[in-house]
Amino acid sequence: MTARSLPSSDARQPPALGGLNPTVLGLEIRRLLRNRRTMIFALIAPSLFFLLFGLNKAYAHESAGHSNVSAFILVSMALYGAVLATTAGGAILMLLSFAGGLFIPLSQYPHVLQTLAKFTPLYGLKQLVHAPLIGGSVDVVWAVNAVAWLVIFASGAVWRFRKDTARV
């Protein structure tokens, strides 16, 4: 009986493209595009909302920072579609979008809700994507909010993944 030695870790070459498999990526994109729910809620609904609300002639001439209200609506709908396409948010994401001021300006909310909105997952992202339209500086609190929620959601995903794979 002879013992075989394992190759040293120095001899191991990293996979091409850092491990990204173009075949798996293509399959995943096709799977997403075949999912009607994803297509409707992530692509069609935000586009339809922009066409209904963002192209209002009054908004095109109403100034908002360095832009107009139509641009704000466009960016908000794009953010909503992007977040929805990358999560399984559904109704919860819709509620968080309203709570964070993505659909309705926070200035329209009562003071208590304005304060609570600053602690929602979409508040920091919304402020960061609207910052170029407003001009001025970016508040560090916005980035902290976005990173904090990223850590919270990533930790939750890792916890659930470990719990799920522990059953096997």
Q: What is the pLDDT of residue 114?
A: 92
Burial zone of 143 (CB within 10 Å; 0-12 exposed, 13-18 middle, 19+ buried): middle
pTM: 0.69
- Please provide the size of the chain in residues: 168
pLDDT in tens, 66-113: 777 888 888 888 888 888 877 766 778 888 888 888 888 888 889 999
Residues with Cβ < 8 Å from 102, sequence gap 6 or more? 76, 79, 80, 122, 126
